[in-house]
Structure formats: C-alpha cells, structure tokens
Amino acid sequence: MHSSTEKKGFLSLLVCSLFLVLAAPRVALSADRDFSLSIEEVTVRVAPDLTFNAFAFDGQVPGPLIHVREGDHVTVHVTNNTSLPHTIHWHGINQTHGNWKMDGVPMVTQEAIAPGDTFTYRWVAERSGTLWYHCHVNVNEHVAMRGMWGPIIIDPKRPSELEKKVDRDFIFMYSSWESPYAHRYGRGGGPRDEADYWSVNGKSFPLDMPVRVKKGEVVRFRFIGAGDAFHEIHLHGHDMLIVRKDGYPLPHPYFVDTILVGPGERYDAIIRMNNPGRFVMHDHVDKHMTNGGKEMGGPMTVIEYDGIPKESWYVWKDKDKTYDPDFFYQDSMKKGYGIFTNPRFKGVPVGN
C-alpha cells in the first residue's frame, strides 16, 4: 500500500504536469505548400555599366523567396523555358525522408530538366534557418555568374528568446560577375576566368538599396554566399551577434564586426540598431568594392537611420523616388508563408 504522503506527492506531480502541458504553447501542425517556378533567359542590369544574360528563376535575380515553416511539406513544379538543361538543388535540405531523388543533381539523382519540360520536386522543411536553392548543372557558370539562386527561409517551431525579439529580417545574397562573358551563354566561370563585378541581391552599388532602420529596432541580417567568391562583410558602427551558421543555431553565439561568407555559407546576425546615423556595410576584400575596376561599387550597402537629414552631396539623397522597400525581402518576410517575387529583380527577356 502506498502511504497518503506518497499519494499526495504523486497527485501534486500529476497536477503540475497537466498544468505544464496546458500552459505550453501550441505547436501548429505542418502545412502542405505547393509552388511553381519557371526558368527564363533574361538580361539583368547588375551595375550602371553592366548588363548580363542570366538564367533566372521566374525571370528574376535573385529568385523568388520561399518562406515556409519547419516541418512543412513542400512541392515545387519547375518548368524550364531556356535553351539548356537545368536542375534545382535545395541547399540545406538533407532529404532525410527517403526522397533523395529530389536532391537535384543531374546524372546522379535525376535527369536534368530539358528545355520545355517540367519536373516536380517534393521535400520536407526538415530543419529551420537560412537556406537557399540553386541550379546544379554547370554550376561554375549557371550559379557562379548566371544568377541561378534564390533564398529559402524556414521558420523554427521553437525560436530562441533572442530570435523572438527580432523586428525585421533582411536577406543578402552575394555573388560575382565576369563581364567578358556577359552576353555569351555557355562561357565563363572557369578556373582561369576572373570576376570584375560583385553584387548584393544581383546589384552593385549604387544600384542596390539602403537598409532603412529606426533607433531601437532589433534586426536580423541573413547572409548567403550565392556565388563562388569569398566576401568579408564588415558593418560599420555596430556589432553583429552571429546566432546561426548554415541554418543551425549556435550554442554559443558570438559578436563580430566582420564575417567571412564563403561560397554556399549562410550566417544569421542579430543587430541592435542603437547608433543613429549613416553607416556602410561592405566587402572588405578591397577589389570587391569596385565595378569593373572603378570605385565605389560592389556589394556596398548603406544603413540609414530614420530622421537623419540627407545632405546635397549624399550619394542617395534622391533615393526616395526609386526606393524599393522589399529589396532585401524585408517586406515579403512579414507576409507569412508562401513564395514571393519582386518586380525590381526581373530581367528583360533575351532578344527584346
């Protein structure tokens, strides 16, 4: 026989357990997401003096943002409207649900998608964080210098306390370009070829956009190495707390003011906007700060605090007229789950 004390103790434990279960936040079930993507041949403007023929997802560089939740089941119908074969590799999705044939590697997991054909990919958003997708055919050209990449953001079911404090997200995809092959499909990206333009989200300064913030905001910068160059990203005036690497949460986040973003790498940085003014964030590989050898260019981004006057000599004093509030997908990230395009990233069909 159990004593009355033991019974009371067990009852108390049971009551406490039930309370914890009832008080715990409810976790929504996974959802089925069904998307369509096309691959187009377009010409995009990278810098004031450079246009480039790209293979572009939905005709834009970077490709549309795919924003889903951890555990979601994702279906993507991909139609190839170009003159060459392509695939999509879902970088960071390990295909652990027996669907290795969805990994997007030609001659290994699938036949490449021939011109005019459609292939359907199915995968599970098995882990959270900043991921991306890109072609896996002739990657040295198609990915390194033809713009075949886009972001995937998978929200965690259980974000950290710090992540819950984030007010806004900004996505930065870094890449490089080789101007001698700008309009010559099938060329470039080889070991002896040299990049001479560098960009963020497909644009070189000053064709990119400023990041506009307010004092007191907590923002998250999501860095993605989309090309084959290494970028030493340095933020002036602020420290960046690195909280995730390649999507994985770090057990010991650390502060930096410069982070090396290599090909394929992703970093999540959380920043407290506590220093009003205008500051730049740029690539500290110095030649990357040029457009065809002319300064200033490359993936340089200006951080603009709200309320700071714009002097007559400020390079972006008139940017309000053409400002795109979704250049870093910051507005799309607030719209919930789905696939999100941006007209500013659209190119002109080749030949038009």
Residue 10 is assigned to a structural domain of this protein: no
> What range does the domain containing 308 cover?
161-326
Residue 60 is assigned to a structural domain of this protein: yes
Residues 39 and 183 in one domain: no
Residue 161 binned pLDDT confidence (cut-offs 50, 70, 90): very high
**Dihedral sign (CA 215, 218, 224, 229):** positive
- Name the DSSP class of 284: S
Residues 145 and 171 in one domain: no
Residues 251 and 133 in one domain: no
Residue 26 is assigned to a structural domain of this protein: no
The rounded distance, in Å, linking the Cα atoms of 257 and 221 is 13
The rounded distance, in Å, linking the Cα atoms of 142 and 30 is 33
- Phi/psi region, residue 116 (left: phi>0; alpha: psi -120 to 50; beta: rest), is left
Structure tokens at 226: 């989309």
The pTM of the full predicted model, rounded to 2 decimals, is: 0.91
Residues 117 and 169 in one domain: no
Residue 25 has a pLDDT of 45
Residue 69 is assigned to a structural domain of this protein: yes
- Please identify, among 124, 155, 186, the residue that sits at the C-terminal boundary of a domain: 155
- Please identify, among 94, 129, 155, the residue that sits at the C-terminal boundary of a domain: 155
Q: Are 193 and 247 in contact (CB under 8 A)?
A: no
Residue 343 is assigned to a structural domain of this protein: no
**pLDDT surpasses 50 at 5:** no
Segment 193-238, tens digit of pLDDT: 999 999 999 999 999 999 999 999 999 999 999 999 999 999 999 9
Residue 73 is assigned to a structural domain of this protein: yes
Segment 64-81, tens digit of pLDDT: 999 999 999 999 999 999
State the total domains in the chain.
Answer: 2
Residue 77 has a pLDDT of 98
- The residue with tokens 């279960």 is 21
Residues 229 and 284 in one domain: yes
